[in-house]
Amino acid sequence: MSMFKDIPVDVGVIYEGQKIRRPDMQVEFGGPDVPAKFELVTARGMDEVDDGKVMIIGPDIKDLKEGSSTTLGIYIEVAGAQVEKDLEPVIERRIHEYCNFIEGFMHLNQRYDVWMRLSKGAYKKGLNTFEYIGKVLQRLFKAELPIIEKIQTTFITDAAKVKAMREEALKIYEARDARARGIKDEEVDVFYGCVLCQSFAPTHMCVLSPNRYSLCGALGWFDGRASARIDPKGPNFKIEKGECLDPVRGEYSGVNAAIKEKSLGEIQRISLYSMFDQPHTSCGCFETVGFYIPEVDGIGIIDRDFKGTAVNGLPFSAMADQTSGGRQTPGFHGISMEYMRSQRFLQADGGWSRVVYVASAIKERVKASIPQDLVDKLSTEKDVTNVEDLKSFLQSKGHPVVVRWKEAPPEEAPAEEEAAEPTPMMIPAEALAAMPAAMGGFKIVLKDVKIHAARLIIGSGEKPKKE
Ligand code: SF4
């Protein structure tokens, strides 16, 4: 029985975290097979919103072929005496949460990258029109965020319209993201936290600081501040920075206390600017995944839309699987586009001078933030397809990471007599289960394996060093 009598499926927090596999799906919206998709919230004047209205532009759910993947834009307009422009990203991020309250309706990711699935079971129960989804969203928004006095929702499946509106939405996202670019973490007294993704990743907490945008790329420091103000009991909260324990890694006593509390003691410390040393946890919503490439002692980054396998032989899905869940996995890291534009981007690991491989789509988007002398030295999938080619590429371009090889050649195993005191590659044993062993002529991916070891030494690797 539904909590809303006029809605054919149940709605409630218990459905958060539901997964709908392809064989069980009636239809999907967005996702990797659909280039045009978006969700956007706009704050309007009170007389500009027709409260409760749900509009559908293009085919409705019942008109879509079973098993099909469809383009979709969700556009929500809100109004209220206290609803300001600044709140748009905060309200928009809740679309993810509230969609996931609907039985048989799964929502992943955010902004230009959304991915939703409707289950066959929910469809059979009667969830066959966006009208129902729109009504549920409107009721939940008004109940959870009472500052919203009026709300209207538009679902767009018309491909041309989605494409055009997405272009506009991209400009709006960019303008929002640019707001904190001039501020440094040390210039503010407090950071903000987000635990919205704990339904999928119970130990995860995003730290929203001016120099570290959230993994999903949807919330920054300003958004954390706005959200904590309007909904103090909600998923965003203030984090007192406390003492700066390490300015290079970005470790703060207040952040450590917050992650310890929010992860129920599972995670004790996090660095804001390192993917090796006590890295920030990763949920599952990250825009891109960063991965260590031991053969060249460098970092690669690919995004969700990356097709095929990266230079290490793994697709996005396999690496995302190893990175997500709220874990702290040295060598794998959820990264947002905006964090790549930060002046503190992985600064403890070498920042951009440690990045050796990046998806061409990412390179294009963040080019202006990459140090100009490095742009041509950064390989993409168009330049290399395996680590041997990557090595040659980096050498031929004079990438700064090559200097590190001279200090400790990445693939030369130490001679027998020198091996008595090898330079250990310090990887926590738990993290090994997530590390692909892409050495030699074959690859082994350890998955769902627990290895207990007090210390692990990999002979031919070297310790990922701070710069
Ligand atoms: S990825 Fe982080 S900021 Fe984004 S919704 Fe999840 S917890 Fe919040």
pLDDT in tens, 251-269: 999 999 999 999 999 999 9
* Same-domain pairing of 162 and 28: yes
Residue owning the nearest CA to atom 6 of ligand 1: 197
pLDDT recorded at residue 384: 98
Give the SS3 label for residue 72. Answer: strand
* Same-domain pairing of 117 and 88: yes
What domain count does the chain have? Answer: 2
* Same-domain pairing of 71 and 147: yes
Kindly report the average pLDDT of the chain as a whole number.
89
Structure confidence by residue, pLDDT tens digits, 315-361: 999 999 999 999 999 999 999 999 999 999 999 999 999 999 999 99
- Whether residue 94 has its Cβ less than 6 Å from ligand 1: no
Residue 439: which pLDDT band, with cuts at 50, 70 and 90? very low
Residue 408: which pLDDT band, with cuts at 50, 70 and 90? low
pLDDT tops 70 at residue 8: yes
Of 153, 175, 197, the residue that ends a domain is 175
* Same-domain pairing of 115 and 185: no
* Same-domain pairing of 32 and 133: yes
246 Cα distance to chain centroid: 25
Q: Decide if 43 is inside a domain.
A: yes
Residue 419: which pLDDT band, with cuts at 50, 70 and 90? very low
pLDDT tops 70 at residue 446: no
342 Cα distance to chain centroid: 16
Residue owning the nearest CA to atom 4 of ligand 1: 216
* Same-domain pairing of 165 and 215: no
pLDDT recorded at residue 407: 73
* Same-domain pairing of 198 and 62: no
pLDDT recorded at residue 426: 34
* Same-domain pairing of 137 and 73: yes
pLDDT tops 70 at residue 88: yes
- Quick one: average pLDDT of 412-436? 38
Structure confidence by residue, pLDDT tens digits, 178-197: 988 889 999 999 999 999 99
SS (H, E, C) 354-391: HEEEECHHHHHHHHHHCCCCCHHHCECCCCCCCHHHHH
- Whether residue 378 has its Cβ less than 6 Å from ligand 1: no
* Same-domain pairing of 242 and 257: yes
Side-chain-side CA neighbours of residue 27 (13 Å) = 20
Query: Count of H helices and E strands in the chain?
Result: 12, 19
Q: Decide if 216 is inside a domain.
A: yes
pLDDT tops 50 at residue 466: no
pLDDT recorded at residue 433: 43
CATH of the domain at 270: 3.40.970.20
Determine the distance separating the centroid of ligand 1 and the alpha carbon of 260, expressed in angstroms.
Answer: 17
Residue owning the nearest CA to atom 5 of ligand 1: 196
CATH of the domain at 151: 3.30.1650.10
pLDDT tops 50 at residue 284: yes
pLDDT recorded at residue 280: 96
- Whether residue 108 has its Cβ less than 6 Å from ligand 1: no
pLDDT recorded at residue 406: 81
pLDDT recorded at residue 437: 41
Residue span of the structural domain in which 274 resides: 181-281
Residue 311: which pLDDT band, with cuts at 50, 70 and 90? very high
Q: Decide if 228 is inside a domain.
A: yes
CA distance 63 to 417: 71
pLDDT recorded at residue 356: 98
Q: Decide if 464 is inside a domain.
A: no
Q: Decide if 349 is inside a domain.
A: no
- Whether residue 216 has its Cβ less than 6 Å from ligand 1: yes
Of 216, 248, 281, the residue that ends a domain is 281
* Same-domain pairing of 156 and 54: yes
Task: Quote the pTM value.
Answer: 0.81
Atom of ligand 1 nearest to the CA of 285: 1
Determine the distance separating the centroid of ligand 1 and the alpha carbon of 201, expressed in angstroms.
Answer: 10
- Whether residue 91 has its Cβ less than 6 Å from ligand 1: no
pLDDT recorded at residue 411: 54
Q: Does an H or E element contain 173, and which?
A: helix 159-177
Determine the distance separating the centroid of ligand 1 and the alpha carbon of 384, expressed in angstroms.
Answer: 33
Determine the distance separating the centroid of ligand 1 and the alpha carbon of 6, expressed in angstroms.
Answer: 31
User: Of residues 238 and 413, which shows the higher confidence score?
Assistant: 238
CA distance 113 to 218: 11
Of 142, 175, 208, the residue that ends a domain is 175
pLDDT tops 80 at residue 425: no
Residue 410: which pLDDT band, with cuts at 50, 70 and 90? low
User: Which residue, among 319, 254, 250, 248, has the nearest Cα to 282 in the 3D structure?
Assistant: 319
- Whether residue 90 has its Cβ less than 6 Å from ligand 1: no
pLDDT recorded at residue 451: 52
